[in-house]
Amino acid sequence: MRCGDAVLRWGHKTYVMGIVNVTPDSFSGDGQLDTRRAVAHGLALVANGADILDVGGESTRPGADPVDAAEEERRVVPVITELHARTTRPISIDTSRAEVAEAALDAGATIVNDVWGFQRDPALAGVVARHGAGAVAMHNRAAIASRAEGLGGYFREVAYDNLLAEVVAGLKESMVILEHSGVARSQIVVDPGIGFGKTPEQNLELLARLGELRTLGASILVGTSRKSVIGVTLDLPPQDRVEGTAATVALAIRNGADVVRVHDLPAMARVARMADAVVRGWPIAIEPEVGR
């Protein structure tokens, strides 16, 4: 996948996408509304192993209050502009709005990551095509959010007749929208949407059966970092979900993920590298001594 001057070569390694939340209400507690701090956070992620930076200006946690497009753009564009000037890593804009994506791509982003799979704003796929950008299409479903004390928002009941079949069908629809707008298949990544419109049990099933998404013929991104499925499973708040995240990242890589979206670096970069050594045969860091 071409991302401006960078190229992501699928199968070579698992790419680590570091999260830069430019919001005051991130579920994980890492939101930064101050541009200087958000940029410093992004650069620290790069220094600690991030291959891609994902910048978002609106919280997508279950039950979050929406912000308007002008405010979202005001939050993210200065951060993307500064990061683009200071790192060669590809930058992704996490948005579902065409006007925000346009401004972000003009500022230096080269990937659009839409949690609604390009099915909410009919103009968004065309923006991606015009810029020759990459596209991450996530599966999502509108549902009523619940809250658990200390664990945050999650979805207690979401009806699926056949979870995997419906997720695959939804992602296929997103791919059709993108391709009909002129986005090349090689520029599309799919995301099963762990934590979005699924119960904790459904999220675990998706992770276990992730390889079935390969039928779509697209690379796969998985975002489990600090999410409620880990909190509900382990009865832990977001700040204590590092080990649970590590387990899900390793399993996602084993089951076919090409990109993992994470908060905790360098820990998750190390998890990805170790999982790659098993799954992809990636070389170890130190050559063994000879003659001992």
| 260/99 Cα distance (integer angstroms) | 26
Taking Cα atoms as reference points, which of 258, 191, 256 lies closest to residue 227? 191
Q: Phi and psi for 147 in degrees, rounded to 5?
A: -130, 140
Phi, psi dihedrals of residue 190, rounded to the nearest 5°: -110, 150
Burial of residue 256, with CB atoms counted within 10 A of its CB: 0-12 exposed, 13-18 middle, 19 or more buried: middle
CA geometry: angle 140, 144, 150, nearest 5 deg: 100
SS3 content of the chain, % helix, strand, coil (to 5): 40, 15, 40
Cα gap 168→257, rounded to integer Å: 15
List, as own/partner pairs, every contact residues 113-119 make where C-beta atoms lie below 8 angstroms and the sequence separation is at least 24, other chains included.
113/54, 113/56, 113/138, 113/191, 114/138, 115/60, 115/140, 115/193, 115/196, 116/140, 117/170, 117/171, 117/173, 117/174, 117/177, 118/174, 118/177, 118/178, 119/173, 119/174, 119/177
- Select from 10, 83, 95 the least CA-distant residue to 53: 83
Residue positions annotated with a catalytic role: 227, 261
Contact, 93 vs 100, CB < 8 A? Answer: yes
